[in-house]
Amino acid sequence: MTTHNLVVQSPGLAIEHAEQLAALAQAQGVARISNTAARLLDVQHDDETRAVVSAWAEARGVDAA
């Protein structure tokens, strides 16, 4: 089974934001990359989850790829 990780970044990205997004994406964990980026581990990969993640990120000025 393929796993999908999601990298999020924003100036001053708070770990709380990464954890909130991890919950929305049903991630299995969060790995802090730097003060401005985090990797969400093994996220849910379906159209509904992608839409929720995109809307959340856009509303907060967070880049999610």
Kindly state the tokens that stand for 18: 């990464």
pLDDT at 23: 97
CA 59 to chain centroid: 13
**pLDDT for residue 1:** 67
Q: Tell me: the pLDDT tens digits for 8-30?
A: 999 989 989 999 999 999 999 99
Q: What is the pLDDT of residues 48-61, one digit of tens each?
A: 999 999 999 999 99
- pLDDT value for 26: 96
3 state SS of 21 = helix
What pLDDT, on the 0 to 100 scale, is given for residue 65? 86
Amino acid, res. 24: L
Segment 1-7 shows an average pLDDT of 89
